[in-house]
A and B are shown apart, each in its own frame.
Chain A
Amino acid sequence: MTSTFSSAELMIVNSARMLRDGDVVFVGVGQPNLACNLAKRTHAPNLTMIYEAGVIGAEPSRLPLSIGDPTLVSGALSICSMYDIFANYLQRGNVDVGFLGGAQIDRFGNINATVIGNNGYAHPKVRLPGSGGAELISAWANRCYIMTPHQKRRFPEKVDFITSAGFLNGRSERDATGVRGGGPLAIITDLGLLEPDENGELTLTALHPERTAEAAIENTGWDLQVAADLKSTEPPSDEELRILYDELDPDGLYLKRA
Chain B
Amino acid sequence: MSKLIPLSEAISKFMQDGESLYAAGFTHLIPFAAGHEIIRQGKRDLELARATPDLIYDQMVAAGCAKKITFSYMGNPGVGSLRIVRGAIERGEIEWEEYSHFGMISCLQAGAAGLPFMPIMPTGATDLEKANSRIKRVVDPYSGNELIAVPALNPDVAIIHVQRADINGNSHLWGIIGEQKEAAFAAEKVIVTAEEIVDESVIRSDPNRTLIPGFIVDAVCHVPHACHPSYAQGYYDRDNAFYMGWDEISKSQESVQSWLDEWVYGTRDHAEYWEKLGKEKHKNLEVEELLSAPINYGKY
Contacts and interface: CB of A to CB of B under 8 A. Distances in A.
Interface of A: 29-30, 52-55, 65-70, 72-74, 79-83, 86-87, 90-91, 110, 114, 121-127, 129-136, 138-140, 161-165, 168, 174, 177-180
B123 A69 contact: no
Contact of A73 (B120, B125, B233): B233
Contact of B90 (A66, A91, A114, A126): A126
Contacts of A79: 174-177
Interface residues of B, number: 55
Contact of A81 (B123, B126, B179): B179
Contact of B240 (A66, A124, A163): A66
B178 A53 contact: yes
Interface in B93-111: 98-102, 105-106, 108-109
A122 B131 contact: yes
B175 A86 contact: no
Contacts of A174: 124
B77 A121 contact: no
B78 A81 contact: no
10 contacts: A54-B26, A70-B175, A74-B290, A81-B177, A81-B179, A132-B72, A132-B101, A138-B125, A140-B123, A161-B127
B105 A70 contact: no
Task: Say whether chain B's binding surface is mostly helix, strand, loop, or mixed.
Answer: loop
Given A70-B238, A91-B120, A139-B124, A127 B86 contact: yes
Contacts of B233: 70, 73
A68 B75 contact: no
Contact of B231 (A55, A70, A82, A162): A70
B284 to A, nearest CB: 14
B179 A179 contact: no
A184 to B, nearest CB: 12
A130 B75 CA distance: 8
B122 A178 contact: yes
B71 interface: yes
A179 B124 contact: yes
A82 B89 contact: no
Interface in B60-77: 71-75, 77
B81 interface: yes
B57 interface: no
A55 B240 CA distance: 20
Nearest to B71: A130
B273 interface: no
Contacts of A122: 131
A87 B131 contact: no
Contacts of B131: 121-122
Contact of B102 (A55, A86, A124, A164): A86
A52 B77 CA distance: 13
Contact of B105 (A66, A69, A82, A124): A82
B291 to A, nearest CB: 11
A68 B74 CA distance: 15
B72 A130 contact: yes
Contacts of B99: 131
